[in-house]
Structure 1
Amino acid sequence: MSDDTETQEAAPVRPAPPRRGPGGGGPFGGMGGPVEKSMNFGPSAKRLAGRLRPEAIGLTFVTLLAVISVVFAVLGPKLLGNAINLVFAGAISLQFPSGMTQAQVIAGARASGQTQIADLLSGTTFTPGAGIDFTAVGMVLMWVLALYIASSLFSYLQAYVLNGITQRTVYRLRQDVEAKLHRLPLKYFDGMQRGELLSRVTNDIDNISQTLQQTMSQLLTSLLTVIGVIVMMFIISPLLAVIALITIPLTLIITTVIAKRSQKLFVAQWKHTGELNGQIEEAFTGHALVKVFGRHREVEEQFRLKNEEMYEASFGAQFISGIIMPAMMFVGNLMYVVIAVVGGLQVASGVMQLGDVTAFIQYSRQFTQPLTQLGSMANLLQSGVASSERVFELLDADEQSADPAEPESPQGTKGLLAFEDVSFRYVEDKPLIEDLSLVAQPGQTVAIVGPTGAGKTTLVNLMMRFYELDSGRITLDGVDIASMTRRDLRSRMGMVLQDTWLFNGTIRENIAYGRPDATEEEILDAAKATYVDRFVHSLPDGYDTVLDDEGGNVSAGEKQLLTIARGFLARPSVLILDEATSSVDTRTEVLVQKAMAALRSDRTSFVIAHRLSTIRDADLILVMEAGRIVEQGTHAELLAAGGAYYTLYNAQFAAPVSDEA
């Protein structure tokens, strides 16, 4: 929470929930890690589909629209076949004189030895000498046009409704992820690289959105088209329909074989995306540090390596999955050739009409096209499911314990804080705090000092219930904090960290963050008490000056004063200052100390400090080593004892420090 070094050394985190990506920190940390196996495609896809359950009514309507659209679309080739039959029959009829019947023409052809022509004529209905009935042909074409227009309109309406369903589904998923982040314990974030987590929350959810948007409509339409086309093909010619159906198992085999090889590459692609984001975020967050130590070449090399890993995984995934569509087109072309040959023979033998064969060839194209689309969608589906696995891992992570069903709440705001035989460890076999007991009286200032890794920040984390105790208890005004809601507990505590955090907003909004309902007068009082008012008037817009998210337009010391003002405005019963004045100059620090002394009335204060000069006036100083309190007392008492505090103090000051320092 505060001192980076202490966090790393004194707070080794428990193993984080299952994740893909490094957990290192710093501009050069956490770059390795093998590719993990993905979850099963089927269960993950089923779970993703389950997110659509609240849209059941809308999906039913979409399915109805799709059915109507497909029915109109698949009737078109059959009607066009009828138009071709009319044209063909009319053209044949012109070859024979009027007054004859079709039977007489066929009998004459057989009598003259033209058996194949007779067979061809027997499969066509015509009236000798009648010619082409252009009125009937035109009527058929008008029906075909009307069907295709209606099909397009229903398809458009289906896409419109489905778009709303998809966006609402992703909206709910984002809400669930946001809510989940607030329920996760601090140890999860300690064990997860920030760029990796951001990648899951942004890139992976965006990929899921694109996958649902691009595949759901095509998937539904393609499946319905396949069903409708199969029905029409069996109506026209069962023999040709069986030939066409042979391609389905062949298609499934090709898709399955290729999909199995590409799925793990898609998982690796999104894993490397998260790691690359993490590396970029770390490098640019610590950009000044990288420049100071001249490590830009190493950062560039690490970026090149991660970028290359991502390129190889992405290229492999897209290339292998991209084979599916050409393979489907090859199978479709083979089927087209077979149907054309067999259909031509059946027309020549009089079993089928020419229009029916042309309609069937159109259906064969309509049959292979959705199969090809399904094959081409396999890479999108695999990519989307791989992203969903990563998001579901986040949603399945162990949450912090629930608040009690019947919480207790302290009466009043005295600020009496007591540790009773508290034990805690981050890692099971590495003890940190054992049987620690202490009492902080209301209005006392308790300073916690000790070497790096002693457990000072851990003590604060336990007060705030960022971590749960292994044994013992902590009470606030006589109430066990474990029996309080976290919101109630933290509303009674104010925390000012060494690492300042400011959001993109005005100075006034940043100060009022802890108490949004604070009046203008209260904000100004807090600013004056912490000497923020002194530098705000030097800014062009005063309290309306807009800060960026890093607070880059104010100095480090001024940022720290703003966070102190925010803590004071909240007026908690317990105030925690974790190296809160480390970036303030010596003169300002003295002024802030005086301001804090005035505001500590009836308020318990915990001060973590490495600069021992800042806590000499504390009511109680706790000296910690290896998670234990080895000494406690006032500044004068501990110096007189000549123990651990005496050693720490003399290590910082070669000469006595005057009261005016």
Structure 2
Amino acid sequence: MSRGFGPSGGHGRMKFDDDNKKTNLSKALLLRIAGYFIPYWKQTLLVMAVLVVTAVLGLLPPLFIQQIIDQALPDKNMRLLVLLVLASLGTTVVSGLLGVLQNYLNSFISLHIVYDMKNQMYRHLQKMPLQFYSGVQQGEVITRMTSDISGVQGVFSNTVVNFASNLFILASTAITLFIMNWKLALLGILVIPLFVVPTRKMGNISWKLAKQTQEKISEQNQIIQETLSISGYLLMKLFTKEAAEYTKFQTVNEEATSLQIRQSMAGRWFMMVLSTFTSIGPLLIYLYGGYLFIQGELSIGAIVAFVALLGRLYGPVLQMTNLYVDIKRSAALFERIFDYFDMKPLIVDKPEARSISAAGKDIVFHEVSFAYQADKTALHGISFTAAAGTLTALVGPSGAGKTTITNLIPRLYETDSGTLTIGDSNIRDFTLESLRAQIGLVTQDTYLFNGTIRENLMYADPEASEARIIAACQAAYIHDFIISLPEGYDTVVGNRGVKLSGGEKQRISIARVLLKNPPVIIMDEATSSLDTASEYYIQQAMHSLLQGKTSIVIAHRLSTIMAADQILVVQAGTIVEQGTHQSLLEQHGVYRDLYDKQYEPKVLT
């Protein structure tokens, strides 16, 4: 059974083979990109109107110059000269004001598209299963969420708007040139095909360099995320790997910088070639236009105006030929983004899914099997019933599958075969939101947000009253510690709760689940970080708090689960023994061996 989430359905760390894949500028891709502009069609139409007016206004200054040279100056008409100069100035000012409006609209549309895409991406990533995050690099996710999507901002202003603007300028200028003198217009246009020759090759080079650069940026983000997060930082310090990690980062940074330089220089060489071609047109106009002037067919003002307008013709052509490069870059960004959007969440609600109330209902595993990979089974034929209101304990060696069993209940993973029911209904018949709302999970690896203790507690219930918060903390035997802090419940815990001890974090985590007060509680080594006294008090508190709730506890310390209603001994993905503490001791099997190893006298030599 394939469990990949990338386009190729692979396993492990995600790797997109961008170097060997060509960007397909298909109609479907372009329509998909265009779909993001639809909500802003009014603003887009206004931008187009502004571009048309600006294109027309841009034709006027060269024509005013022609009148100045051919009429105002030869006739020594000061009034006409002033009017033409003022008209040219007014045209420039109006064009500038329209440019400000255009820039505002550009920013409004492009930034809102980025806003929409980031929201869509975040929401989509929330729906991805746990397996996705266990395989993908964190730096990869961050890159796609930040630099990739932020790069889309330039697509509208640098690609769509530039294309429309250049198209309007090109059309209006070409028409004006042919009206002025069709012979010179044809001569100027003859140079244009020379611009197209290097464009396609440059587009492919730029696209490949852009893809490689984004990959190196992802590697940079990954190193930063792994080594400068609190856990990675401590590991790096404790194993004195600063030099090695710096060398690794320096190497990736150097490669990324080299790619960016190559990308920049490739563009400069490209523009140099095109600029050389653009200088040929005006020279031809001066040559042939001068001949026509000598023949009396053309005025000097017309030649000057023609050369000025020719610049308005070549400028858009240069930019439009370069648009191929921009489109390839944009397509590369969109492909990376769409790669994520096209990953289908494997765990979703059925169309007819309904809400669940798990209170007073048994949790039943029947011949449940599960594999993280097709060729590696994690669980095989798991069958047991966690009766409503009882405590079921899971024990066994690390890697036996205990945590995997508990992760199947809130559907963090999906079973491959067998059935998992709550009451008389398969858990797949319930909505994910209602199912997970019924379950409280305390994990061994406690996670706290970098906020206050109160904020971390209220993550379970934003409407929780002060009295409920205090009651939950008292039940977890953490209240006295919290009020002893200078800021009390408003104490900031630091990144991942670094300012607290392991036991303190664990007790806050327990209090958070107690505040949620779900009918089903799963505790995965929840007391592993507690000292003996705290463990004892929490056991006493949990005894009363779990009355009427269905509880599943994973424990290595057998002292925490001796009073369990049933104990399941898990080994190599199967349940090898099942019973109460006393009955399992009497079997003299795996459980008895675990018990003896924990409680046999330790002799120091």
Q: TM-score range by the shorter chain?
A: over 0.9
Question: Deviation string for 1:549-582 (max 9, x for gaps)?
Answer: 4222222211111110001111111101111122
| SS of residue matched to 2:198 | helix
Secondary structure of 1:431's aligned partner: strand
Runs (5+) with no aligned partner, structure 1: 1-11, 25-29, 91-130
Distance 1:558 1:35 in 2: 49
Give the Å deviation of 1:132.
Answer: 2.2
Q: Equivalents in 1 of 2:17, 2:173: separation in Å?
A: 49
Could you tell me which residue of structure 1 aligns to residue 547 of structure 2?
601
Tell me how far apart the structure 2 counterparts of residues 69 and 408 of structure 1 sit (CA, whole Å).
57
- Which position in structure 2 is the counterpart of 1:50? 35
Match of 1:403 among 327, 331, 349: 349
CA contact under 8 A between 2:358 and 2:519: conserved in structure 1?
A: no
1:80 matched to 2:65? The reply is yes
> Does residue 422 of the first structure (1) align with residue 406 of the second (2)?
no
Quote the Cα distance in structure 2 between the aligned partners of 1:482 and 1:271: 38
Pairing 1:342-357 to 2, within 5 Å after superposition = 342-357=288-303
Aligned position for 1:155: 99
Deviation at 1:541, TM superposition (A): 1.1
Q: Which residue of 2 aligns with 1:234?
A: 178
1:60 partner letter: L
Question: After superposition, where does 1:171-570 map in structure 2 within 5 Å?
Answer: 171-285=115-229, 286-374=232-320, 381-410=327-356, 413-570=359-516
Residues in 1 aligned to 2:471 and 2:57: alpha-carbon distance in whole angstroms: 74
Contact 1:423 1:434 survives alignment (8 Å): yes
Task: Tell me by how many angstroms 1:629 deviates.
Answer: 0.5
Alignment match, 2:90: 146
> Counterpart amino acid of 1:631?
E
- Structure 1 residues 307 and 649, CA, compared in 2 at 3 Å: closer, same or farther? farther
CA distance in 2, matches of 1:334, 1:272: 41
The 1-side partners of 2:433 and 2:263 are apart by: 46
Q: CA deviation at 1:155?
A: 2.4
Q: Work out the CA distance in 1 between the residues paired with 2:3 and 2:374.
A: 8
Query: CA shift at 1:229, angstroms?
Result: 1.4
Q: What residue identity is the alignment partner of 2:94?
A: A
Residues 322-373 of structure 1: CA distance to partner in whole angstroms, max 9, x if unpaired? 3222222111112221222111111111121111111010011222223344
641-650 vs 259-268, greater mean Cα deviation: 641-650
1:579 matched to 2:509? The reply is: no
Distance 1:324 1:594 in 2: 76
> What corresponds to 1:39 in structure 2?
23
One-letter code aligned to 1:17:
G
CA distance in 1, matches of 2:429, 2:198: 59
Evaluate the alpha carbon distance shift between residue 636 and residue 457 of structure 1 in structure 2; reply closer, same or farther with a 3 A threshold: same
SS of alignment partner, residue 522 of structure 2: strand
The alignment status of 1:133 with 2:69, answered yes or no, reads: no
Q: CA deviation at 1:656?
A: 8.9
Separation (CA, whole Å) in 1 of partners of 2:168 and 2:599? 82
The count of aligned residue pairs is 600
SS in 2 for 1:473: strand
Inter-partner Cα distance in structure 1 for 2:480 and 2:10: 46
Measured at CA, do residues 18 and 318 of structure 1 come closer, stay the same or move farther in structure 2, by a change above 3 Å? farther
Bigger relative CO (Cα 8 Å, ≥ 6 apart): 1
Post-superposition offset of 1:474: 1.1
Per the alignment, residue 61 of structure 1 pairs with: 46
CA contact (8 A) 2:419 2:426 kept: yes
Give ranges in structure 2 of 5+ residues lacking alignment: none
Letter in 2 for 1:174: K
**Which position in structure 1 is the counterpart of 2:7?**
18
What is the RMSD of the two structures over their aligned residues, measured on CA atoms? 2.6
CA distance in 2, matches of 1:77, 1:63: 23
Contact 1:424 1:470 in 2 (8 A): yes
- Report the residue type matching 1:72 in the other structure: L
Q: Which amino acid aligns with 1:436?
A: I
User: In 1, Cα distance between the equivalents of 2:191 and 2:556?
Assistant: 75
| Helix, strand or coil at the partner of 1:432 | strand
- Give the AA of the match of 1:252: V
Matched, 1:588 2:534: yes
What residue identity is the alignment partner of 2:383? S
Residues 166, 542 of structure 1: alpha-carbon distance in 2 compared, 3 angstrom cutoff? same
Pairing partner for 1:169 from 113, 116, 129 = 113
TM-score (norm 2): 0.93
Residues 206 and 32 of structure 1, relative CA distance in 2, 3 Å threshold: closer
Cα deviation per residue 1:600-657 (whole Å; 9 max; x = unaligned)?
1011111112233322222211111221111111222222212122233334443299
Show CA shifts across 1:131-181 (max 9, x none): 422222332223222222222222222222222111221111111112111
Note the C-alpha offset of 1:381: 4.8
CA contact (8 A) 1:421 1:472 kept: yes
| Contact 2:453–2:493 (Cα < 8 Å) also in 1 | yes
How far apart, CA to CA, are the structure 1 residues paired with 2:344 and 2:11?
19
Q: Provide the residue aligned with 1:124 in structure 2.
A: none
Distance 2:344 2:289 in 1: 63
The amino acid that maps onto 1:599 is: L
Shift of 1:419: 0.7
Aligned equivalents of 1:51, 1:233: Cα separation in 2: 37
- State the Cα distance separating 1:186 from its structure 2 match: 1.8
User: Are the counterparts in 2 of residues 455 and 625 from structure 1 also a CA contact under 8 Å?
Assistant: yes
Percent of pairs identical after alignment?
34
Output the CA distance in 2 between the equivalents of 1:173 and 1:33: 23
Distance in 2 (alpha carbons) for counterparts of 1:68 and 1:20: 51
Given residue 257 of structure 2, which amino acid in structure 1 is its aligned partner?
A: Y
- Assess if the C-alpha contact under 8 Å between 2:470 and 2:479 holds in 1: yes
